[in-house]
């Protein structure tokens, strides 16, 4: 009994410790960058919702960017006080932009783009990408639209069906002066769920790039080889004036012109014929119908034959046919026709006049150029915009970094994304365990192992309470009540041992026990605040936990 009481008391103390641990607290990062956005209360001083209209490819109908934007906490808060930019509207065009403090040139320094996206309602046809806008758009931010020139487009897109990570850059043809979009081929494929996702792009001055999802393994390559259409056009092109000669034969095989249909070949022979050798089975009831009027049915009392016509009883299967070989008129069955050969076709032979596949002759490409250093020819970046159509509401954007330092971007991710990722993964494990238990995968039964069953429930409650104590109490009220009673009993027993009476004589003034009492606990409002994820070693993360 003593070991059981001790175990229960330790569990109660563990619960009390878990209850003291609250959500991490948001604190603005100390990381610096040409553009860094955490969507704090002054966000509207930087961001401008679009007031432009978006024209359809055909006709004159226009769609305004009516999608609503809000800065708010996630629907399931993770870091207390942390807010993000949320595309609130379903089935709507959204557009919003913010300028950089100064135009960003990445000819000689890496371009680093990193941000978080959270599809809070799950994936259902919706973009989550950014547009790095060409310098100069700042003069009319309210007119930001799909026609606004941009330099780089990057981020996830649910294309219904399918998902992809866009990495597109607009490259200027040095001969024609026209811009052409270059799309990354074979990039990483994101997994879209309700968890926070981190997307990182690095474009280096040597024309290499890397795309990373959730700080995983980067997908790397070159701007010169991995994009469609390629940066540099082909040296030769098909001659548009060259036409295939009329007598050109490009049929490789033809029906044999010398072949003839055999005299005994009957194109019209049917696939099946009557089986003349078939014999009617014994016990076949020729005079019995397969269905008879239902003998148990009766004409409804309200039936009026003058208005409703003659009443006819519904039919049911003839019970006499159930045990017989069959009922009704017997007919000989069909069988495959041994004379059937189908329609005759001449056999195919090699074409003696075949000249091969025709192709127009090649000529030098008049628009050929060679840009061996395309990153040097990309425009400066003047701002960032989010312009998308979505069937999914409540897409949340947060912690945008645009600059030159991958190390700084990673440091920001450690302070924000990694904290969220750990909490969300823990919550998912608890959820999966609960689902598995509900499905019967966990076979711990109270009558077989009552102590193990209670311990399992208590640990499950503690894991949920680490994330949200209130939610844990609502989800498992019986465990919360039981542990609350145990905690009170444990504290009462401890109080009795320390201060309980022993004799009728007045007791001498007792010395203060070394055991902590409620008065000895530090006040919550005076408690020091430590960094999120801090164990024994201090880090520079601005996310903090209350102890």
Structure confidence at residue 84 (pLDDT): 97
pLDDT in tens, the chain (547 residues): 434 433 444 444 433 433 335 679 999 999 999 999 999 999 999 999 999 987 766 666 677 899 999 999 999 899 999 999 999 999 899 999 999 999 999 999 999 999 999 999 887 788 899 999 999 998 889 999 999 999 999 999 987 777 899 999 999 999 888 999 999 998 888 888 899 999 999 999 999 999 999 999 999 999 999 999 999 999 999 999 999 999 999 999 999 999 999 999 999 999 999 999 999 999 999 999 999 999 999 999 899 988 889 999 999 999 999 989 999 999 999 999 999 999 999 999 999 999 999 999 999 998 899 999 999 999 999 999 999 988 889 999 999 999 999 999 999 999 999 999 999 998 888 878 777 776 665 555 555 666 777 777 787 778 777 766 766 676 677 777 877 777 776 667 666 666 665 444 444 443 433 444 444 444 333 333 333 334 444 445 455 444 4
Structure confidence at residue 383 (pLDDT): 97
Q: H/E/C letters for each residue in 98-161?
A: EEEEEEECCCCCCEEEEEEEEECCCCCCEECCEEEEECCHHHCHHHCCCCCCEEEEEEEEECCC
Structure confidence at residue 513 (pLDDT): 39
Q: How far is CA 534 from the centre of its chain?
A: 31
Evaluate whether 194 touches 75 at the Cβ level (below 8 Å): no
Around Cβ 461, how many Cβ atoms within 10 Å? 24
Burial track 239-253 (b if 16+ CB lie within 10 A, e otherwise): eeeeeeeeeeeeeee
Angle at which helix 450-467 crosses helix 2-20, to 10 degrees, equals 10
Structure confidence at residue 4 (pLDDT): 40
Structure confidence at residue 159 (pLDDT): 79
Question: Side-chain half-sphere of 412: how many Cα atoms within 13 Å?
Answer: 29
Residue 36: partners with Cβ closer than 8 Å, 6 or more residues away:
29, 400, 401, 402, 403, 412
Q: How far is CA 388 from the centre of its chain?
A: 17
Residue 519: partners with Cβ closer than 8 Å, 6 or more residues away:
none
Residue 528: partners with Cβ closer than 8 Å, 6 or more residues away:
547
DSSP-assigned letter for residue 332: P
């Amino acid at each position: 009994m003593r070991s059981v009481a001790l175990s229960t008391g330790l569990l109660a103390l563990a619960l009390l410790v878990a209850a003291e641990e609250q959500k991490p607290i948001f604190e603005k990062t100390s990381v610096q960058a040409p553009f860094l956005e955490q969507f704090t209360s002054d966000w509207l001083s930087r961001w401008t919702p679009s007031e432009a209209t978006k024209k359809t490819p055909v006709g004159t109908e226009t769609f305004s960017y009516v999608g609503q934007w809000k800065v708010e906490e996630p629907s399931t808060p993770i870091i207390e006080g942390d807010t993000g930019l949320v595309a609130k509207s379903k089935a709507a065009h959204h557009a919003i932009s913010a300028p950089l403090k100064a135009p960003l040139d990445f000819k000689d320094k890496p371009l680093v783009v990193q941000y978080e996206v959270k599809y809070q309602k799950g994936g259902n046809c919706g973009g989550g990408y950014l547009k790095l806008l060409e310098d100069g758009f700042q003069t009319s931010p309210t007119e930001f639209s799909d026609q606004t020139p941009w330099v780089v487009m990057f981020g996830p897109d649910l294309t219904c069906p399918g998902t992809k990570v866009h990495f597109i850059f607009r490259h200027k043809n040095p001969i024609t002066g026209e811009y052409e979009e270059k799309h990354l081929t074979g990039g990483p494929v994101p997994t879209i769920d309700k968890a926070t996702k981190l997307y990182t792009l690095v474009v280096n001055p040597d024309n290499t790039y890397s795309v990373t999802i959730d700080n995983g393994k980067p997908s790397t390559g070159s701007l010169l080889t991995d994009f469609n259409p390629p940066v540099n056009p082909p040296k030769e092109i098909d001659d548009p004036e060259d036409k295939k000669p009329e007598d050109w034969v490009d049929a490789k095989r033809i029906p044999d012109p010398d072949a003839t249909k055999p005299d005994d070949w009957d194109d019209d022979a049917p696939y099946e014929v009557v089986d003349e050798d078939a014999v009617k089975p014994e016990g076949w009831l020729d005079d019995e119908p397969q269905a008879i009027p239902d003998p148990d049915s009766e004409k409804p009392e309200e039936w009026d034959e003058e208005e409703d016509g003659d009443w006819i009883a519904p039919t049911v299967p003839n019970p006499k046919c159930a045990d017989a070989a069959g009922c009704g008129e017997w007919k000989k069955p069909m069988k495959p026709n041994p004379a059937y050969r189908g329609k005759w076709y001449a056999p195919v032979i090699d074409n003696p006049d075949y000249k091969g596949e025709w192709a127009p002759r090649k000529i030098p490409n008049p628009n050929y150029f060679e840009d061996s250093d395309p990153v040097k020819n990309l425009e400066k970046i003047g701002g960032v915009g989010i312009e998308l159509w979505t069937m999914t509401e409540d897409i949340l954007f947060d912690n945008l970094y645009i600059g030159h330092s991958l190390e700084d971007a990673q440091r920001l991710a450690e302070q924000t994304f990694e904290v969220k990722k750990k909490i969300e993964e823990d919550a998912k494990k608890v959820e999966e365990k609960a689902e598995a238990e509900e499905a019967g995968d966990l076979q711990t039964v109270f009558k077989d192992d009552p102590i193990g069953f209670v311990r399992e429930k208590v640990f499950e409650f503690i894991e949920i309470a680490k994330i949200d104590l209130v939610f844990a109490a609502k989800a498992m009220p019986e465990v919360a009540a039981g542990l609350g009673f145990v905690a009170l009993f444990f504290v009462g027993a401890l109080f009795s041992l320390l201060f309980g009476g022993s004799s009728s004589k007045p007791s001498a003034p007792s010395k203060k026990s070394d055991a902590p009492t409620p008065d000895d606990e530090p006040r919550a409002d005076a408690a020091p605040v430590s960094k999120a994820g801090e164990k024994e070693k201090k880090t520079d993360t601005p996310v903090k936990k209350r102890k």
